[in-house]
Amino acid sequence: PDIHLTLAGRCNEDMQDYIKTHAGDMIDNIHFAGIILPELLPAFASKFDVGIAIELFVPLNRNICLTNKIFTYLLAGNAIILSETAMQLAFNKKWQVGQSIAVNNKNELVQKIKFYKDLNILNAQKTFNYKLSKEHLNWDEESKKILAVIK
């Protein structure tokens, strides 16, 4: 009951009804924020502790890419729960930004959310991720790689 889920982005009425139907007693803990302007996303996300980056294996692109939400969560200083798609698994193995779960495994998701209820673990991960975004995983650093290729 002390965990809240805020969903940002487009969520049509049918999906909201589906979520409300399956949420049961937890419906008061689920919040629909709607669409947040891209430039406001990091500040919005910084109000929360954990970002959830759940992807599927299909379409293929979702298995081999990193979505913007991961970088938003890093800039916001969130701990991250990632699905074990090929790219997210490799990214988390290299950078250790959070906890990975098997795709479509709700029990693992519950375990990882509970894992972050330990405030020492949560705060250490949040601090690490924020520092990582400031020192390495940001446009100022990544743009140097693109400029080197162009040269």
Interval 55-81: pLDDT, tens: 999 899 999 999 999 999 999 999 999
Mean pLDDT of 108-112: 95
**Cβ contact 54:70 at 8 Å:** no
Identify the pLDDT of residue 1.
80
pTM for this prediction? 0.91
Q: Which one-letter amino acid corresponds to residue 35? A: I
Tens digit of pLDDT for each residue in 75-95?
999 999 999 999 999 999 999
